[in-house]
A and B are shown apart, each in its own frame.
Chain A
Amino acid sequence: MLEDRLLIWKLNRGNRQVLRHIYEKYKDRLVTLAAALLNNKTDAEDVVHDVFVSFINSAEKFRLTGSLNGYLATCVANNARNKNKAKYQQKNVPLDQAQTIASDSNSPDFQAIFGEQMCKLTWSLTELPYEQREVIMLHLYSRMKFKAIAKSQGVSINTIQGRYRYGITKLRTLLNSEVKK
């Protein structure tokens, strides 16, 4: 938090070099978030690219009111939603494609222990309705509060909490079932 505020401070004062620092700090998290929302890494990278280009161009006027992480995650989610609307919705993603989200982890131990579970999770995420997936990822992965998510999407906090509850219940059921072959 302190680091982010300092970065934005520098940015507002004309130090554009901090844009590289911000990108390096958040790129992987944002690509993961976008990939989980879009089920496709190429599209995810396009979204993150667009978000950063827009951020870079408006950097001078940018004013941080909440967390930078939350701000960028919201931008990614909004862009991903637009992209999703524009594209044909892929409802059933083949398991091997869904695997790409989980398979980039660096640690071999991590893969050995969590590999199967992560594959199952990413497949299960693709099975959720988009809106539920979005809330779950923004809340659990990007650590955004329900209120902030509701505000960014222009819906009530109850709607967001409802989507989250339904999503988690479905996710739990899917995780307990067999992985679709």
Chain B
Amino acid sequence: MNTYLTRAVALAGSAALLLVAACSAGSGTSSGPSTGANQSLAIGLVAEPASLDFTTTDGAAIPQALLTNVYEGLVKQDESGKIVPDLAKSWTVSADRKTYTFELVDNAKFTNGAAFTAADAVFSINRVKTAWTTSLKAAMDVVQDAKAVSPKQLQVTLSKPSNDWLFRMTTRIGAMFSQTGVDKLATDPVGTGPYKFGSWKRGDSIVLQRNDAYWGTKPFFNQVTLKYFKDPTALNNALLTGTINVIGTVQAPEALSQFTSNTKYQVIEGTTNGEVVLSFNNSRPVFKDVRVRQAIRSAIDHKALLDTCFAGRGKLIGSMVPPTDPWYEDLTQVAPYSKDKAKSLLAAAGATGKTLRLRLPTLPYATSCGQVVKSQLEQVGLKVQIDQLEFPAAWLTTVFKNADYDMSIIAHVEPRDLGAVFSPKYYTRYDDPTLQQDLAAADAGDEATQVTDMKKAARRISEEAAADWLFLLPNLVVADKNITGLPANAITESFDLSKLARS
């Protein structure tokens, strides 16, 4: 439980969340992938990984490229958020909810030739505790013992019941590694997935090749290129001129009109796990007063904000839960927009005229939304001073590590991150024993209890105004018309390339 809380949350870098695949050079005017004309695909993404080893390097870009595609877990999340089999055909949970028994698939093989067995699963689970260095590894602390009952049966015993553990097994933490394939994780990943790692041109692209020995349904494309763009306009131009087939993450929603009005392209809009949070430093005296926090939530016209800073794309949410989680409720009316209410709350708290420092990371959405937030808060009598901090380095140190800020704006893109974000140890410095109780009960109980308790927790932070939720980042994907299999919602850490095809 505690491990869950201490786990930090991945922050959206350049909003790295969404990926999409693209197809081969369709348009003929320009390049496209150079091999296998009809079988290859090029996808434009925004954040390039710094390394390929997500056991020691953080960053959403690595699992985005590799998870589900190169690495697989025992279980995965389907598009509706349900946990479904992957390398485990099935599993059972004991009555005390502490022992999980997984039946593994028979024919899975690593790309280094080794067969996937329960021994590899034990190795991978134990390795999280010993060799991983990102604090995500804490999700595995609850595991007391993992053993191979037979080559195809794995038993995992937890020290206490935890709903969250099985969920975390769908993330990178649950990736299955080969006992003989972890020497060069940073440059040469080895997994069981439908694709194998091909090559990496640093600063440019990663190429994945179809794994012809894959145990499941083999993917349509024999080669997928993940091409990385720093500049959103360059990304758009690449699709317009046929250099890529899919824009995985639209960074410039205002520019979408050039695609929606063109019949050559399809635009997909769904939801993500990326809550854009206006975070408060709850350890600052001014934010200890709940009225100030509530006043800020009431002062923000979320609809106008979304229209202004993200072209109206995305979804308004009233708490830290995306619509794809089982305990989602529409909480946008907990703090409806009202300047008068905001003013009177501020007056009652004696905070009118106070100056707040809004320290923004240098990310486009944060810069945009920050200016709207400033303007709206100033209309109810607060003063807002905007500072920009270079992302990631300066922002991480100043805001995230040292909590030297009053307010900030960042997208928290990790799945089910409510508990992690609103913890006294996190940069929000949100210390609320009631919330902790609800979360603990949710983790230990059965599925129905989990939903009830998580709903309570979500309502609690919304009513207490632990932060303000500006909006949920949309999954915005643009692709050539003939690409199929693109997911509407992007709710996992990976971009699943296996279902993509060209019609």
Q: Does B associate with A?
A: no
Residues of chain A whose beta carbon lies under 8 Å from any beta carbon of chain B: none
Residues of chain B whose beta carbon lies under 8 Å from any beta carbon of chain A: none
